[in-house]
Structure 1
Amino acid sequence: MSNITSLFATRLYHAKLSALGAALDTDEFEKSCYAIAQDDEAGQDWCEDNGYPGYTSYASLSDLPWRFPIFADLVKVLDAHVAGFAEDLQFDLGDKTLQLEDIWINILPEGGIHTGHIHPHSVISGTTYVAMPDGASAIKFEDPRLAMMMAAPTRTKDARDELRTFFYAKPAVGDVLLWESWLRHEVPMNMAEDDRVSVSFNYAWG
């Protein structure tokens, strides 16, 4: 009798922000993101200089929770979600905890993409979703073993999620996704006429 098990699992956490804290006012959250983008000239310049579609505060603002109370409220809720995910991952954190390292806004217009990347030097990364209009792109995760699969056939169309080479997660407004920071991911082209707005973040150990 055969015994087939799954090894080296890659975990993806998907939940409503409000599951572990007070619900945030999504309208206020979205307005805050646009107000920050409008005032952040350094971020606008960085996006233009680097050919970045839309806007991100990644390279310009490192203190959003200090500047805006709604981001401080967000971090309190994210802390609870990240702690739960770390427990599921069975991390031995010793006498330290996972702490927010950075948090930033992404405003992706029609036709914009975020190419494949990882988040070095962090433990857990994630995104929460502020605006996801019809046609807005999902987030695409890549099997971390892909580079070693040079002779493997493709998977069937109905393959189980854990066996797919790529997995597309389609979040809704108010959702939070968490994953280990080494997991390569990207945002395919936004096919919606309206902006796709999200807030991404990294947590580090210590």
Structure 2
Amino acid sequence: MSQTESLFVTRLYRARLSELGPAIATSELEASCYSIAEDDEAGQQWCEENAYPGYTSYASLSDLPWRFPVFADLKQALDVHVMAFAADLEFDLGDGRLELEDLWINILPEGGTHASHIHPHSVISGTTYITMPDGASALKLEDPRSARMMAAPPRRKDARAELRTFVYVTPQAGDVLLWESWLRHEVPMNMAEDERVSVSFNYKWV
């Protein structure tokens, strides 16, 4: 009797940030993100020099949990989510642990995009969403086998999610999404008139 099974599964973790760890008000996070963006002249300059849409603290501030109590609370909550995801992935960490490597703010204006990319040298990456106005960009995830599909025909539009070449995930404010850092992803053009605010992060194995 014939049998077909799925192999080499790609996992995506989705939860409410407040489900685990300390409760954090998205309004407080939003206010902190804008306050930091306003004062971060080095980050503003980097964004301008690199034609980066909106604002990111990725190239300028690497110690947000140390500088701001709300980001210390955020790290505490993310640590618990990442532990839960690592358990689901059945990682054997041995005597090591997963540790926050970096964490940065993204403020994406109308018309802004983040090009397709991966996060080398990290194990788990993710984003928690602070504001997601109507029409804000989804997260676009790419099948990691894409470069090896060669002469394969396209998938049907109604194909099951696990068989699609691209999957679009639309988070809500207060959600956290986690994925393995090798998974290619992007943020398509933000069609909302208001800014899309999020905080992204990487965890490494130490």
Which bracket does the TM-score occupy, shorter chain normalised? over 0.9
Unaligned 5+ segments in structure 2 are: none
Measured after TM superposition, the shift of residue 21 of structure 1 is: 2.2
- Matched AA of 2:103: I
In structure 2, C-alpha distance between the alignment counterparts of 1:34 and 1:16, rounded to whole Å: 22
- Cα deviations by residue, 1:41-99 (Å, 9 ceiling, x for unpaired): 00000000001000000000000000100000000010000001001111110011100
How is 1:24-173 mapped onto 2 (pairs within 5 angstroms)? 24-173=24-173
Match of 2:178 in 1: 178
Aligned-residue CA RMSD in angstroms?
Answer: 0.6
Aligned-partner Cα distance in 1 for 2:131–2:202: 20
Structure 1 segments of 4+ aligned residues over 2 angstroms from their partners: none
Determine if contact 2:121/2:204 at 8 Å carries over to the other structure: yes
- Percent identity between the aligned chains? 75
Distance 2:134 2:21 in 1: 27
Which letter does structure 1 place at the counterpart of 2:152?
A: A
Q: How many residues align?
A: 206
SS at match of 2:154: coil
Secondary structure of the structure 2 residue equivalent to 1:36: helix
Partner secondary structure for residue 158 of structure 2? coil
Please report the TM-score for the alignment, with normalisation by the length of structure 2: 0.99
Q: Any conservation in 1 of the 2:22–2:76 contact (CA below 8 Å)? A: no
For residue 176 of structure 1, give the secondary structure of its aligned residue in structure 2. strand
Which amino acid is 1:46 matched to? W
After superposition, what is the alpha-carbon deviation per residue over 1:88-134, rounded to whole angstroms, capped at 9, x for unaligned? 11111001110000000000000000000000000000000000000
Amino acid in the other structure paired with 1:192: A
